[in-house]
Amino acid sequence: MALKKRLDFKEYTQGIFDGNKIILSKAITLLESSKKEDRDISLALLKFAFPKTGKSFRIGITGVPGSGKSTFIELLGQKYISLGKKVAVLTIDPSSGLAKGSILADKTRMEELSKERDAFIRPSPAGMTLGGLHRCTRQAMLLCEAAGFDIILIETVGVGQSETVIKKLADAVLLLMVTGTGDELQFIKKGIIEIADIIVVNKADEENVQSAEMVSKEIQANISYQESDLWKVPVLTSSSLNIKSFDKILSIIKLYETTLSNDNLIHKRRTENNIYWLHELSKQYVIEDFYNSPKIISLITNLEESLSNDSIIPEEAADQLLKIFKPIE
């Protein structure tokens, strides 16, 4: 490792272990870099942090835009802090462009939570999303754990068929739904409900109270359980206008956490997820190495030209590229 990098490394590790939020945010920006030269220091950081990871509870919050995710996280986060927990929130910043990192907390969306000493809010740029998360959300989560955060709240940008990656990251996935949108039927049909460990019919307030209750019963009736399931996905109603809702939410999350601790299910789930990430990261690294290789870059330019004058077909061009691509041994 070069001297400059080593100095950075010391500053990063010390800052992370001290729970310094600015350094933590800078370290996450480094992880988000797709530059090959940053991969070594990122890997070293993660390896260094690793012994201090794994002790937090990881909660994913998913749901369509407008279902109330950020309001919900703001209140859930405050609730955990009132119980003496340290809370990290990993979100995607919808306003950021491709390359722009976000050093500052997402003040506009979670104003009160961002003022808390024991909260850390880290929006990642929207450009590099993978299944509704940033491709480095997992690594960011690990650094937050090493920095001593007890609860990690991970917010997805939305929910869709490709946004099931949250299940590969979180110990508990909360799916927020709202009534009157037709989501409930869509979600059942598309199997999105299957990613949820806890379903919350949100905005159950004012004129929506009754319909929310009805929808929650309907969803509950449509979930099929196996006799052997240790956890039967509960469907709750909640309103961020009523802070008492969060007592119920918290106790259900706790119950789920206890269920997972039995038979070491949490370890099994995390191991399965790590195997998934081994494959995902390998694919990602191969693609990055491919497109960063100078030989590939120069041949691609030539091949694009050949395609423009119809002297080659795309299959042949791709084959030529692969033939000269030698991953670094």
Q: Which residue's CB is nearer to ligand GDP, number 43 or number 241? A: 241
Rg of the Cα atoms in the chain: 22
Backbone angles phi, psi at 108, to 5 degrees: -70, -30
Q: Which residue's CB is nearer to ligand GDP, number 127 or number 158? A: 158
Give the chain's end-to-end CA distance (angstroms, integer): 18
DSSP state of 88: E
Tell me how far apart the alpha carbons of residues 258 and 266 are, in angstroms, rounded to a whole number: 10
Q: In angstroms, what CA-CA distances link 183 with 11, 143, 192, 218, 246?
A: 47, 35, 10, 12, 23
Tell me how far apart the alpha carbons of residues 129 and 156 are, in angstroms, rounded to a whole number: 10
Positions in the binding site for ligand GDP (CB under 6 A): 63, 65-71, 202-203, 205, 239-241
Length of the chain: 329
**At its nearest, how many Å lie between ligand GDP and the CB of residue 153?**
12
Tell me how far apart the alpha carbons of residues 262 and 285 are, in angstroms, rounded to a whole number: 36
CB 110 within 8 A of CB 73: yes
**At its nearest, how many Å lie between ligand GDP and the CB of residue 66?**
5
Q: Which residue's CB is nearer to ligand GDP, number 182 or number 314? A: 182
**At its nearest, how many Å lie between ligand GDP and the CB of residue 72?**
6
Task: Using CB positions, name the residue nearest to ligand GDP.
Answer: 68
**At its nearest, how many Å lie between ligand GDP and the CB of residue 179?**
11
**At its nearest, how many Å lie between ligand GDP and the CB of residue 182?**
16
**At its nearest, how many Å lie between ligand GDP and the CB of residue 122?**
16
Q: Which residue's CB is nearer to ligand GDP, number 135 or number 203? A: 203
Q: Which residue's CB is nearer to ligand GDP, number 25 or number 202? A: 202
Q: Which residue's CB is nearer to ligand GDP, number 67 or number 293? A: 67
86, amino acid identity: K
